[in-house]
Amino acid sequence: MTATMRPPSVKRYLVRKLFLGLLIVFFVAAGANHFWHAEFYEPLMPAYLPWHPSLIAISGVAEIVGGLGAAIRYFRRAAGWGLIVLLICVFPANLHAALHGLGSIPEWILWARLPFQAVLVAWVHWTCLQPLHEKAEAAVSPSPPALS
């Protein structure tokens, strides 16, 4: 086997690591955006929910912590479950926005966000909750030789 050809398990491992990295960046950036542009999230909040600014900040912190937790192997599973719970919890706000509209966002985008939540849940599940193959990881970064 040449240096450019790798076993399929190693390729899958590298693709999952790439998507894990993208997930980390996505959630940290999305969480930070809750603070940079908090006014954007206010109209998304249903009227029946109290403390809109606090809930926006809490969801931003949860996205940042979940993203950073996914970066650390020891915390990855817990971070994955936390992100999935968060995605489920924000779904009512996304549904509210789709049903009632927001003047600045086209209606089709608001409706497209709803099934995209399922894509995000699948992405988190695949990168954070599915075990990576140890053999593939060892092939990518072999352990240093033991000292004798």
Delimit the domains of the chain by residue range: 12-139
**Residue 105 DSSP one-character state:** B
Please, which residues bridge with residue 105 across strands?
A: 102
pTM: 0.78
pLDDT of residue 140: 45
User: Any idea what DSSP says for residue 75?
Assistant: G
* 3-state class (DSSP) for residue 45: coil
Per-residue pLDDT, 133: 56
Tens place of pLDDT per residue across the chain (148 aa): 455 655 557 888 888 899 999 999 999 999 999 999 888 888 778 888 889 889 999 999 999 999 999 999 999 999 999 999 999 998 988 898 898 887 778 889 889 989 999 999 999 999 999 876 554 444 445 444 555 4
3-state class (DSSP) for residue 147: coil
SS3 content of the chain, % helix, strand, coil (to 5): 75, 0, 20
